[in-house]
């Protein structure tokens, strides 16, 4: 169901010399962009921000329609194309559970500017594309490396928080689920419940991988219907 690496067929639309230059850079750096993504994972349902951009635009990333149809993915692409290609790499190592002291308010969606600021654009408020969910929904991790999980913590923003205008802070989140451990598997899925919400919210998933002290932090945009 999910591709192991970002190897979808690309539709290139060379509209300007600037875009031609970008395509040259893509060809030059394709291998470094795809290789790191082989070894990790992310939340694919509801889609994490980086994964959602890749799923919608990875095969059509030169389409100028992205700017109007998906402006937050567009700004992420403009800031750093690696954000889209390395959607599996939003992790920090050796935090020893000290997440709030190591990841500051406003930097939660980028995992604290992880990987040298790989995905800092994910922290920007705006009209991120959402997944419709009800009060009860499932969270699905796709993990090509089969790290397993010591646990997951799932937070959801409180009613009244506005993802379109406010950077995400720890005080905006309510813990709604803490799981037990999971054996290594490519797909891990579990149910959560977040009643009393409507409209656009952020589901913030913390995945503590089992193979070492490696922690993933993923923002998924949802619309509570």
Does the predicted model carry a pTM greater than 0.85?
no
Query: CA 59: distance to chain centroid?
Result: 18
**pLDDT, averaged across the chain:** 86
The whole-number pLDDT of residue 212 equals 84
How far is Cα 57 from Cα 225, in angstroms, rounded to an integer? 25
What is the tally of helices (H) and strands (E) in the chain?
Answer: 7, 9
Residue 35's beta-bridge partner residues?
A: none
Q: What is the DSSP string of 125-152?
A: -S----EEE-SEEEEEEEETT---EEEE
How far is Cα 97 from Cα 88, in angstroms, rounded to an integer? 20
Residue 53, token pair as written in the block:
């951009």
Residue 33, token pair as written in the block:
């962009």
Report the run of H or E that residue 7 belongs to, with start and end: none
Q: If you ran DSSP here, which 8-state letter would residue 171 be given?
A: G
Domain range 17-224, its CATH number among 2.70.50.50, 3.40.630.10, 3.40.50.1820, 2.40.50.140: 2.70.50.50
In 3D, which of 133, 126, 122, 135 has the Cα closest to residue 216? 122
Q: Any idea where the domains of the chain sit in the sequence?
A: 17-224
How far is Cα 92 from Cα 112, in angstroms, rounded to an integer? 8
Mean pLDDT of 100-126: 94
Whether residue 180 contacts residue 7, with contact meaning beta carbons closer than 8 Å, is answered with no
How far is Cα 45 from Cα 10, in angstroms, rounded to an integer? 23
Using one digit for the tens of pLDDT, what is the confidence trace for 125-175?
A: 999 999 999 999 999 999 988 999 999 999 999 999 999 999 999 999 999
- Which band of pLDDT confidence, cut at 50, 70 and 90, is reported for residue 40? confident
Whether residue 142 contacts residue 199, with contact meaning beta carbons closer than 8 Å, is answered with no
């Amino acid at each position: 169901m999910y591709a192991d690496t970002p190897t979808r067929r690309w539709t290139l639309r060379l509209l300007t010399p600037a875009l031609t230059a970008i395509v040259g850079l893509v060809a030059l750096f394709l291998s470094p962009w795809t290789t790191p993504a082989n070894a990790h994972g992310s939340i694919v349902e509801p889609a994490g921000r980086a994964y959602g951009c890749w799923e919608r635009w990875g095969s059509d990333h030169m389409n100028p329609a992205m700017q109007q149809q998906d402006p937050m993915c567009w700004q992420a692409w403009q800031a750093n194309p690696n954000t889209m290609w390395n959607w599996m790499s939003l992790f920090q190592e050796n935090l020893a559970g000290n997440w709030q002291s190591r990841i500051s308010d406003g930097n939660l969606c980028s995992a604290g500017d992880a990987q040298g600021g790989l995905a800092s654009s994910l922290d920007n408020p705006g009209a991120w594309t959402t997944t419709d969910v009800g009060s009860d929904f499932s969270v699905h991790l796709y993990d090509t490396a089969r790290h397993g999980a010591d646990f997951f913590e799932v937070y959801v923003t409180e009613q009244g928080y506005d993802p379109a205008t406010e950077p995400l802070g720890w005080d905006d989140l309510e813990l709604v689920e803490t799981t037990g451990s999971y054996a290594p598997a490519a797909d891990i899925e579990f149910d959560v419940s977040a009643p009393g919400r409507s409209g656009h919210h952020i589901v913030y998933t913390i995945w503590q991988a089992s193979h070492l002290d490696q922690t993933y932090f993923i923002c998924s945009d949802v619309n509570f219907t």
